[in-house]
Structure 1
Amino acid sequence: MEHTGQVNSMITCRNIGKTFSTKKTSLEVLQKFDLDVKENEFVVLLGPGQCGKTTLMNIIAGLEPPTAGEVLFQGEKVTKPNPGIGMVYQTTGLFPWFTVMKNVDFGPRMKHMPKQERRKKAQHFIDLVGLTGFENSYPIKLSGGMRQRVGIARAYCNDPAVLLMDEPFGHLDAQTRYAMQEVITNIWSREKRTVIFVTNNIEEAVFLADRIILLTNCPTNVKREIRIDLPRPRDYVSKEFLKIREEISEIFESTK
Protein backbone atom coordinates (compact mmCIF):
# COMPACT_ATOMS: atom_id res chain seq x y z
CA MET A 1 0.00 0.00 0.00
CA GLU A 2 1.40 3.38 -0.96
CA HIS A 3 1.48 6.19 1.59
CA THR A 4 1.60 9.54 -0.11
CA GLY A 5 0.13 11.83 2.53
CA GLN A 6 -2.08 13.41 -0.10
CA VAL A 7 -4.92 15.59 1.08
CA ASN A 8 -7.55 13.04 -0.04
CA SER A 9 -6.30 10.94 2.87
CA MET A 10 -7.87 12.31 6.06
CA ILE A 11 -5.35 10.60 8.32
CA THR A 12 -1.89 9.42 7.32
CA CYS A 13 0.49 7.65 9.69
CA ARG A 14 4.03 7.55 8.39
CA ASN A 15 6.60 5.26 9.97
CA ILE A 16 5.18 5.79 13.47
CA GLY A 17 7.29 4.50 16.32
CA LYS A 18 6.73 4.84 20.05
CA THR A 19 9.06 3.74 22.84
CA PHE A 20 8.44 4.34 26.54
CA SER A 21 11.71 4.63 28.40
CA THR A 22 12.82 4.88 32.02
CA LYS A 23 16.32 4.98 33.49
CA LYS A 24 16.37 1.18 33.68
CA THR A 25 14.10 -0.12 30.92
CA SER A 26 12.48 0.71 27.60
CA LEU A 27 9.38 -0.70 25.94
CA GLU A 28 8.81 -0.39 22.21
CA VAL A 29 5.04 -0.18 21.67
CA LEU A 30 4.77 0.89 18.01
CA GLN A 31 7.23 0.09 15.24
CA LYS A 32 7.26 1.59 11.72
CA PHE A 33 3.47 1.84 11.66
CA ASP A 34 1.92 3.08 8.39
CA LEU A 35 -1.75 3.79 7.70
CA ASP A 36 -3.84 5.85 5.28
CA VAL A 37 -7.52 6.53 6.06
CA LYS A 38 -9.67 8.20 3.43
CA GLU A 39 -12.60 10.58 3.84
CA ASN A 40 -15.77 8.95 5.27
CA GLU A 41 -14.05 5.58 5.56
CA PHE A 42 -14.84 3.37 8.57
CA VAL A 43 -11.56 1.69 9.55
CA VAL A 44 -11.32 -0.77 12.42
CA LEU A 45 -8.01 -1.46 14.15
CA LEU A 46 -8.26 -5.04 15.41
CA GLY A 47 -5.58 -6.33 17.72
CA PRO A 48 -4.91 -8.26 20.92
CA GLY A 49 -5.13 -6.58 24.32
CA GLN A 50 -2.23 -4.38 25.45
CA CYS A 51 -0.73 -4.20 21.95
CA GLY A 52 -0.54 -0.41 21.76
CA LYS A 53 -3.88 0.48 20.17
CA THR A 54 -4.70 3.22 22.69
CA THR A 55 -1.20 4.67 22.39
CA LEU A 56 -1.65 4.86 18.62
CA MET A 57 -5.03 6.60 19.00
CA ASN A 58 -3.53 9.14 21.40
CA ILE A 59 -0.76 9.88 18.88
CA ILE A 60 -3.28 10.33 16.03
CA ALA A 61 -5.33 12.64 18.29
CA GLY A 62 -2.25 14.74 19.03
CA LEU A 63 -2.41 13.90 22.74
CA GLU A 64 1.11 12.49 22.82
CA PRO A 65 4.03 12.66 20.39
CA PRO A 66 5.47 9.68 18.54
CA THR A 67 9.10 8.73 19.12
CA ALA A 68 9.53 8.44 15.37
CA GLY A 69 7.51 9.25 12.26
CA GLU A 70 4.57 11.60 11.88
CA VAL A 71 0.78 11.80 11.65
CA LEU A 72 -0.89 13.99 9.01
CA PHE A 73 -4.46 15.26 9.25
CA GLN A 74 -5.70 16.43 5.84
CA GLY A 75 -2.07 16.75 4.78
CA GLU A 76 -0.98 18.82 7.81
CA LYS A 77 1.31 17.44 10.51
CA VAL A 78 -0.39 16.72 13.85
CA THR A 79 1.58 18.20 16.76
CA LYS A 80 -1.24 18.93 19.22
CA PRO A 81 -4.97 18.24 19.69
CA ASN A 82 -7.05 19.42 16.73
CA PRO A 83 -10.76 20.33 16.87
CA GLY A 84 -11.17 18.44 13.59
CA ILE A 85 -10.31 15.17 15.34
CA GLY A 86 -12.83 13.95 17.94
CA MET A 87 -12.40 11.14 20.45
CA VAL A 88 -14.77 8.68 22.13
CA TYR A 89 -13.31 6.56 24.92
CA GLN A 90 -14.55 3.48 26.75
CA THR A 91 -15.36 5.76 29.68
CA THR A 92 -17.56 8.57 28.40
CA GLY A 93 -16.36 11.37 30.66
CA LEU A 94 -19.78 13.01 30.77
CA PHE A 95 -20.31 16.00 33.06
CA PRO A 96 -22.46 14.55 35.86
CA TRP A 97 -23.92 17.98 36.73
CA PHE A 98 -25.16 18.49 33.15
CA THR A 99 -28.27 17.02 31.58
CA VAL A 100 -28.10 14.98 28.38
CA MET A 101 -28.89 18.10 26.36
CA LYS A 102 -26.20 20.18 28.05
CA ASN A 103 -23.62 17.42 27.65
CA VAL A 104 -24.35 17.07 23.95
CA ASP A 105 -24.42 20.80 23.17
CA PHE A 106 -21.28 21.50 25.22
CA GLY A 107 -18.93 21.83 22.22
CA PRO A 108 -21.10 24.26 20.25
CA ARG A 109 -21.71 26.22 23.47
CA MET A 110 -17.94 26.61 23.93
CA LYS A 111 -17.82 27.92 20.35
CA HIS A 112 -20.49 30.51 21.31
CA MET A 113 -23.12 29.15 18.97
CA PRO A 114 -26.50 30.79 19.69
CA LYS A 115 -28.62 28.75 22.10
CA GLN A 116 -31.50 28.00 19.75
CA GLU A 117 -29.14 26.86 16.98
CA ARG A 118 -27.01 24.65 19.21
CA ARG A 119 -30.04 23.09 20.91
CA LYS A 120 -31.53 22.24 17.52
CA LYS A 121 -28.25 20.69 16.48
CA ALA A 122 -27.89 18.73 19.72
CA GLN A 123 -31.49 17.49 19.46
CA HIS A 124 -30.72 16.12 15.99
CA PHE A 125 -27.94 13.90 17.35
CA ILE A 126 -29.86 12.96 20.50
CA ASP A 127 -32.63 11.70 18.23
CA LEU A 128 -30.17 9.84 16.01
CA VAL A 129 -28.71 7.87 18.93
CA GLY A 130 -32.17 6.99 20.22
CA LEU A 131 -32.35 9.16 23.34
CA THR A 132 -35.41 11.24 22.45
CA GLY A 133 -37.24 11.99 25.71
CA PHE A 134 -34.09 11.85 27.87
CA GLU A 135 -32.88 15.40 27.11
CA ASN A 136 -33.36 16.54 30.73
CA SER A 137 -31.97 13.38 32.37
CA TYR A 138 -28.67 13.37 34.25
CA PRO A 139 -25.95 10.75 33.55
CA ILE A 140 -26.42 9.07 36.93
CA LYS A 141 -29.96 8.12 35.86
CA LEU A 142 -28.78 6.48 32.61
CA SER A 143 -27.55 2.97 31.88
CA GLY A 144 -24.02 2.37 30.59
CA GLY A 145 -25.25 2.00 27.04
CA MET A 146 -27.29 5.19 27.25
CA ARG A 147 -24.31 7.13 28.61
CA GLN A 148 -22.24 5.88 25.68
CA ARG A 149 -24.97 7.09 23.31
CA VAL A 150 -24.67 10.54 24.90
CA GLY A 151 -20.89 10.43 24.39
CA ILE A 152 -21.31 9.57 20.71
CA ALA A 153 -23.93 12.29 20.20
CA ARG A 154 -21.66 14.81 21.92
CA ALA A 155 -18.71 13.85 19.71
CA TYR A 156 -20.78 14.19 16.51
CA CYS A 157 -22.29 17.49 17.67
CA ASN A 158 -18.77 18.93 17.79
CA ASP A 159 -18.50 18.43 14.00
CA PRO A 160 -15.16 16.58 13.81
CA ALA A 161 -13.93 15.53 10.38
CA VAL A 162 -12.38 12.43 11.97
CA LEU A 163 -13.81 10.47 14.89
CA LEU A 164 -11.51 8.20 16.91
CA MET A 165 -13.32 5.54 18.95
CA ASP A 166 -11.16 3.61 21.43
CA GLU A 167 -13.03 0.41 22.40
CA PRO A 168 -16.16 2.42 23.25
CA PHE A 169 -18.32 -0.68 23.82
CA GLY A 170 -15.74 -2.81 25.62
CA HIS A 171 -17.34 -2.51 29.06
CA LEU A 172 -20.92 -3.17 27.92
CA ASP A 173 -22.82 -6.45 28.22
CA ALA A 174 -23.28 -8.45 25.02
CA GLN A 175 -26.87 -7.41 24.32
CA THR A 176 -26.13 -3.70 24.85
CA ARG A 177 -22.98 -4.01 22.76
CA TYR A 178 -24.97 -5.37 19.79
CA ALA A 179 -27.44 -2.51 20.15
CA MET A 180 -24.62 0.07 20.22
CA GLN A 181 -23.03 -1.42 17.10
CA GLU A 182 -26.32 -0.84 15.30
CA VAL A 183 -26.53 2.70 16.70
CA ILE A 184 -23.07 3.63 15.46
CA THR A 185 -23.76 2.07 12.05
CA ASN A 186 -26.98 4.06 11.76
CA ILE A 187 -25.49 7.40 12.77
CA TRP A 188 -22.42 6.85 10.55
CA SER A 189 -24.60 6.05 7.52
CA ARG A 190 -26.70 9.18 8.16
CA GLU A 191 -23.90 11.56 9.22
CA LYS A 192 -20.78 10.48 7.38
CA ARG A 193 -17.48 10.95 9.17
CA THR A 194 -14.08 9.36 8.86
CA VAL A 195 -14.00 6.85 11.72
CA ILE A 196 -11.06 4.95 13.21
CA PHE A 197 -12.47 2.40 15.64
CA VAL A 198 -10.41 0.22 18.00
CA THR A 199 -11.57 -3.19 19.18
CA ASN A 200 -10.30 -6.67 20.06
CA ASN A 201 -13.68 -8.19 19.13
CA ILE A 202 -13.64 -9.87 15.70
CA GLU A 203 -17.42 -9.95 15.26
CA GLU A 204 -17.66 -6.25 16.07
CA ALA A 205 -14.92 -5.45 13.57
CA VAL A 206 -16.64 -7.36 10.75
CA PHE A 207 -20.02 -5.78 11.55
CA LEU A 208 -18.69 -2.21 11.46
CA ALA A 209 -15.73 -1.93 9.12
CA ASP A 210 -15.15 -0.92 5.55
CA ARG A 211 -11.59 -2.06 6.19
CA ILE A 212 -10.00 -3.99 9.05
CA ILE A 213 -6.37 -3.36 9.95
CA LEU A 214 -5.19 -6.47 11.76
CA LEU A 215 -2.41 -5.60 14.19
CA THR A 216 0.51 -7.63 15.46
CA ASN A 217 1.28 -7.98 19.14
CA CYS A 218 3.56 -5.44 20.80
CA PRO A 219 5.50 -3.78 19.21
CA THR A 220 2.49 -3.06 17.03
CA ASN A 221 2.60 -3.10 13.27
CA VAL A 222 0.19 -3.97 10.46
CA LYS A 223 -0.10 -7.72 9.99
CA ARG A 224 -2.90 -7.78 7.42
CA GLU A 225 -5.40 -5.44 5.78
CA ILE A 226 -8.84 -6.90 5.07
CA ARG A 227 -11.56 -5.11 3.11
CA ILE A 228 -15.12 -5.95 4.12
CA ASP A 229 -17.43 -5.69 1.12
CA LEU A 230 -20.63 -6.90 2.80
CA PRO A 231 -23.62 -4.57 2.31
CA ARG A 232 -25.08 -2.73 5.30
CA PRO A 233 -26.98 -3.38 7.49
CA ARG A 234 -25.04 -6.58 8.15
CA ASP A 235 -26.40 -9.86 9.45
CA TYR A 236 -24.32 -11.50 12.19
CA VAL A 237 -25.50 -14.99 11.20
CA SER A 238 -25.42 -14.76 7.41
CA LYS A 239 -23.24 -17.27 5.59
CA GLU A 240 -20.99 -14.53 4.19
CA PHE A 241 -20.55 -12.84 7.59
CA LEU A 242 -19.68 -16.09 9.36
CA LYS A 243 -17.18 -17.04 6.65
CA ILE A 244 -15.31 -13.73 6.97
CA ARG A 245 -15.37 -13.95 10.76
CA GLU A 246 -13.87 -17.45 10.66
CA GLU A 247 -11.13 -16.41 8.25
CA ILE A 248 -10.17 -13.42 10.39
CA SER A 249 -10.28 -15.53 13.56
CA GLU A 250 -7.63 -17.85 12.15
CA ILE A 251 -5.36 -14.94 11.28
CA PHE A 252 -6.09 -13.12 14.55
CA GLU A 253 -5.15 -16.11 16.71
CA SER A 254 -1.72 -16.20 15.10
CA THR A 255 -1.05 -12.61 16.23
CA LYS A 256 -1.36 -13.37 19.95
Structure 2
Amino acid sequence: MRFHAKETKIIAILLLLYSVIAYFNPNILALTAWGENPRFYLANYAGFFFWFATLFIVLPLYSVYLQPNFNYFQNINVFYRYGRLKKYWHTRLRITLLESVLFVSYLYLLILLRAGYFHQISRYIDNINFFLKSYLLQILAFCLFALLYTFFTDIFNKSILGFACAYFIFVYDYIAVNTGLPKINMLCAISFRPEDLPIYWPLFIMIAALIILFAVLGMALLKRRDNYWKADLK
Protein backbone atom coordinates (compact mmCIF):
# COMPACT_ATOMS: atom_id res chain seq x y z
CA MET A 1 0.00 0.00 0.00
CA ARG A 2 2.69 2.47 1.06
CA PHE A 3 4.95 2.35 -2.03
CA HIS A 4 2.08 2.32 -4.51
CA ALA A 5 0.27 5.28 -2.95
CA LYS A 6 0.31 8.46 -5.03
CA GLU A 7 0.98 10.49 -1.87
CA THR A 8 4.22 8.58 -1.30
CA LYS A 9 5.41 9.20 -4.85
CA ILE A 10 4.46 12.89 -4.77
CA ILE A 11 6.19 13.52 -1.43
CA ALA A 12 9.31 11.62 -2.54
CA ILE A 13 9.51 13.73 -5.71
CA LEU A 14 8.89 17.02 -3.88
CA LEU A 15 11.59 16.28 -1.32
CA LEU A 16 13.98 15.26 -4.09
CA LEU A 17 13.31 18.50 -5.98
CA TYR A 18 13.81 20.50 -2.79
CA SER A 19 17.12 18.69 -2.25
CA VAL A 20 18.27 19.24 -5.84
CA ILE A 21 18.00 23.04 -5.54
CA ALA A 22 21.16 23.07 -3.40
CA TYR A 23 23.10 21.22 -6.13
CA PHE A 24 22.89 24.39 -8.23
CA ASN A 25 23.17 26.89 -5.38
CA PRO A 26 24.76 25.34 -2.26
CA ASN A 27 24.80 28.73 -0.51
CA ILE A 28 21.04 28.42 -0.11
CA LEU A 29 21.65 25.82 2.60
CA ALA A 30 22.98 28.52 4.91
CA LEU A 31 19.52 30.11 4.93
CA THR A 32 18.04 27.18 6.86
CA ALA A 33 21.03 26.52 9.15
CA TRP A 34 21.75 27.78 12.65
CA GLY A 35 24.50 30.33 13.27
CA GLU A 36 26.55 32.27 10.76
CA ASN A 37 28.86 30.68 8.19
CA PRO A 38 27.91 27.07 9.03
CA ARG A 39 30.06 24.19 7.85
CA PHE A 40 28.66 22.53 4.76
CA TYR A 41 27.96 19.16 6.36
CA LEU A 42 25.88 20.81 9.11
CA ALA A 43 24.12 23.18 6.70
CA ASN A 44 23.32 20.17 4.50
CA TYR A 45 21.78 18.42 7.50
CA ALA A 46 19.95 21.59 8.62
CA GLY A 47 18.40 21.86 5.17
CA PHE A 48 15.99 19.14 6.26
CA PHE A 49 16.11 19.15 10.04
CA PHE A 50 16.53 22.64 11.43
CA TRP A 51 13.58 24.78 12.50
CA PHE A 52 12.55 26.46 9.27
CA ALA A 53 12.82 23.37 7.08
CA THR A 54 11.20 21.13 9.71
CA LEU A 55 8.20 23.36 10.41
CA PHE A 56 7.43 24.73 6.97
CA ILE A 57 8.55 21.94 4.63
CA VAL A 58 9.21 18.58 6.26
CA LEU A 59 6.37 18.24 8.81
CA PRO A 60 3.63 19.38 6.38
CA LEU A 61 4.93 16.95 3.75
CA TYR A 62 5.18 14.20 6.37
CA SER A 63 1.51 14.75 7.20
CA VAL A 64 0.57 14.20 3.57
CA TYR A 65 2.84 11.14 3.45
CA LEU A 66 0.89 9.65 6.37
CA GLN A 67 -2.48 9.93 4.65
CA PRO A 68 -2.78 6.54 2.84
CA ASN A 69 -2.35 4.39 5.93
CA PHE A 70 -4.02 7.04 8.10
CA ASN A 71 -7.19 6.87 6.00
CA TYR A 72 -6.98 3.08 5.85
CA PHE A 73 -6.88 2.65 9.62
CA GLN A 74 -9.56 5.30 10.20
CA ASN A 75 -12.03 3.18 8.21
CA ILE A 76 -14.52 1.61 10.61
CA ASN A 77 -14.71 -1.56 8.49
CA VAL A 78 -10.94 -2.03 8.83
CA PHE A 79 -11.29 -1.36 12.55
CA TYR A 80 -13.68 -4.29 12.99
CA ARG A 81 -11.91 -6.53 10.47
CA TYR A 82 -9.07 -7.01 12.96
CA GLY A 83 -11.49 -8.56 15.44
CA ARG A 84 -9.63 -7.44 18.56
CA LEU A 85 -8.79 -3.89 19.58
CA LYS A 86 -5.30 -4.79 20.74
CA LYS A 87 -4.44 -6.44 17.42
CA TYR A 88 -5.72 -3.41 15.49
CA TRP A 89 -3.90 -0.89 17.68
CA HIS A 90 -0.62 -2.80 17.87
CA THR A 91 -0.62 -3.17 14.08
CA ARG A 92 -1.26 0.53 13.70
CA LEU A 93 1.56 1.39 16.11
CA ARG A 94 3.99 -0.84 14.20
CA ILE A 95 2.99 0.77 10.90
CA THR A 96 3.40 4.24 12.42
CA LEU A 97 6.92 3.40 13.57
CA LEU A 98 7.78 1.86 10.19
CA GLU A 99 6.52 4.95 8.36
CA SER A 100 8.69 7.12 10.56
CA VAL A 101 11.75 4.94 9.86
CA LEU A 102 11.14 5.05 6.10
CA PHE A 103 10.55 8.80 6.01
CA VAL A 104 13.58 9.77 8.12
CA SER A 105 15.77 7.28 6.24
CA TYR A 106 14.74 8.87 2.94
CA LEU A 107 15.69 12.31 4.26
CA TYR A 108 19.10 11.02 5.30
CA LEU A 109 19.53 9.38 1.89
CA LEU A 110 18.95 12.76 0.24
CA ILE A 111 21.42 14.37 2.65
CA LEU A 112 24.09 11.76 1.91
CA LEU A 113 23.56 11.96 -1.85
CA ARG A 114 24.07 15.71 -1.66
CA ALA A 115 27.11 15.20 0.56
CA GLY A 116 28.55 12.75 -1.96
CA TYR A 117 28.04 15.22 -4.80
CA PHE A 118 30.03 17.85 -2.88
CA HIS A 119 32.67 15.36 -1.66
CA GLN A 120 31.66 15.74 1.99
CA ILE A 121 30.88 12.12 2.97
CA SER A 122 33.98 11.94 5.16
CA ARG A 123 32.54 14.63 7.46
CA TYR A 124 29.55 12.41 8.19
CA ILE A 125 31.81 9.45 8.90
CA ASP A 126 33.89 11.60 11.27
CA ASN A 127 30.72 12.67 13.09
CA ILE A 128 28.90 9.33 12.93
CA ASN A 129 28.08 9.38 16.65
CA PHE A 130 26.12 12.63 16.34
CA PHE A 131 24.28 11.63 13.17
CA LEU A 132 23.39 8.15 14.42
CA LYS A 133 21.97 9.60 17.63
CA SER A 134 20.09 12.26 15.66
CA TYR A 135 18.69 9.64 13.29
CA LEU A 136 17.29 7.51 16.12
CA LEU A 137 15.87 10.49 18.00
CA GLN A 138 14.24 11.88 14.85
CA ILE A 139 12.59 8.54 14.11
CA LEU A 140 11.00 8.66 17.57
CA ALA A 141 10.01 12.32 17.13
CA PHE A 142 8.27 11.69 13.80
CA CYS A 143 6.58 8.64 15.30
CA LEU A 144 5.33 10.81 18.18
CA PHE A 145 4.05 13.44 15.74
CA ALA A 146 2.05 10.76 13.90
CA LEU A 147 0.64 9.44 17.20
CA LEU A 148 -0.37 12.95 18.27
CA TYR A 149 -1.96 13.51 14.87
CA THR A 150 -3.93 10.27 15.26
CA PHE A 151 -4.91 10.93 18.87
CA PHE A 152 -6.24 14.45 18.34
CA THR A 153 -7.99 13.43 15.12
CA ASP A 154 -9.86 10.79 17.13
CA ILE A 155 -10.60 13.31 19.88
CA PHE A 156 -12.11 15.93 17.56
CA ASN A 157 -13.17 13.57 14.76
CA LYS A 158 -11.53 16.02 12.33
CA SER A 159 -8.25 15.31 10.56
CA ILE A 160 -7.41 19.00 10.13
CA LEU A 161 -7.81 19.62 13.87
CA GLY A 162 -5.66 16.57 14.59
CA PHE A 163 -2.89 17.98 12.42
CA ALA A 164 -3.26 21.48 13.91
CA CYS A 165 -2.89 20.19 17.48
CA ALA A 166 0.10 17.96 16.67
CA TYR A 167 1.74 20.73 14.65
CA PHE A 168 1.22 23.32 17.39
CA ILE A 169 2.95 21.09 19.96
CA PHE A 170 6.07 21.07 17.76
CA VAL A 171 5.85 24.68 16.58
CA TYR A 172 5.49 25.89 20.17
CA ASP A 173 9.27 25.82 20.73
CA TYR A 174 9.78 28.12 17.75
CA ILE A 175 7.22 30.51 19.24
CA ALA A 176 8.80 30.19 22.70
CA VAL A 177 12.30 31.08 21.48
CA ASN A 178 10.98 34.23 19.81
CA THR A 179 8.72 35.32 22.67
CA GLY A 180 10.65 34.32 25.79
CA LEU A 181 8.23 31.57 26.80
CA PRO A 182 9.63 28.37 28.38
CA LYS A 183 10.58 25.70 25.85
CA ILE A 184 9.32 22.11 25.93
CA ASN A 185 12.06 20.82 23.54
CA MET A 186 9.72 18.87 21.27
CA LEU A 187 11.08 20.59 18.19
CA CYS A 188 14.62 20.01 19.44
CA ALA A 189 14.05 16.27 19.03
CA ILE A 190 13.88 16.84 15.25
CA SER A 191 16.11 19.92 14.96
CA PHE A 192 18.89 18.30 16.98
CA ARG A 193 22.31 20.04 16.91
CA PRO A 194 25.80 18.97 18.05
CA GLU A 195 25.58 21.41 20.96
CA ASP A 196 22.43 19.59 22.12
CA LEU A 197 24.31 16.32 22.77
CA PRO A 198 24.45 16.92 26.57
CA ILE A 199 20.63 16.72 26.70
CA TYR A 200 20.34 13.81 24.25
CA TRP A 201 19.35 11.09 26.71
CA PRO A 202 16.86 13.20 28.70
CA LEU A 203 15.31 14.21 25.37
CA PHE A 204 15.32 10.62 24.09
CA ILE A 205 13.63 9.37 27.27
CA MET A 206 11.05 12.18 27.16
CA ILE A 207 10.05 11.42 23.56
CA ALA A 208 9.95 7.65 24.22
CA ALA A 209 7.82 8.22 27.34
CA LEU A 210 5.39 10.42 25.40
CA ILE A 211 5.10 7.74 22.71
CA ILE A 212 4.20 5.19 25.38
CA LEU A 213 1.76 7.64 27.01
CA PHE A 214 -0.11 8.41 23.80
CA ALA A 215 -0.06 4.75 22.76
CA VAL A 216 -1.87 3.96 26.03
CA LEU A 217 -4.23 6.94 25.70
CA GLY A 218 -4.93 6.00 22.09
CA MET A 219 -5.89 2.49 23.14
CA ALA A 220 -8.20 3.87 25.85
CA LEU A 221 -9.81 6.19 23.32
CA LEU A 222 -10.32 3.29 20.92
CA LYS A 223 -12.16 1.30 23.60
CA ARG A 224 -14.41 4.28 24.23
CA ARG A 225 -15.14 4.68 20.51
CA ASP A 226 -15.77 0.96 20.17
CA ASN A 227 -18.35 1.04 22.97
CA TYR A 228 -19.99 4.08 21.39
CA TRP A 229 -20.21 2.43 17.95
CA LYS A 230 -21.61 -0.80 19.40
CA ALA A 231 -24.25 1.12 21.34
CA ASP A 232 -25.12 3.07 18.20
CA LEU A 233 -25.62 -0.15 16.23
CA LYS A 234 -28.11 -1.60 18.73
Which structure is higher in RCO with an 8 Å CA cutoff and minimum separation 6? 1
Higher strand share: 1
TM-score higher than 0.5 = no
TM-score bracket, normalised by the shorter chain, equals under 0.3
Relative to the length of structure 2, the TM-score reads 0.28
TM-score by length of 1: 0.26
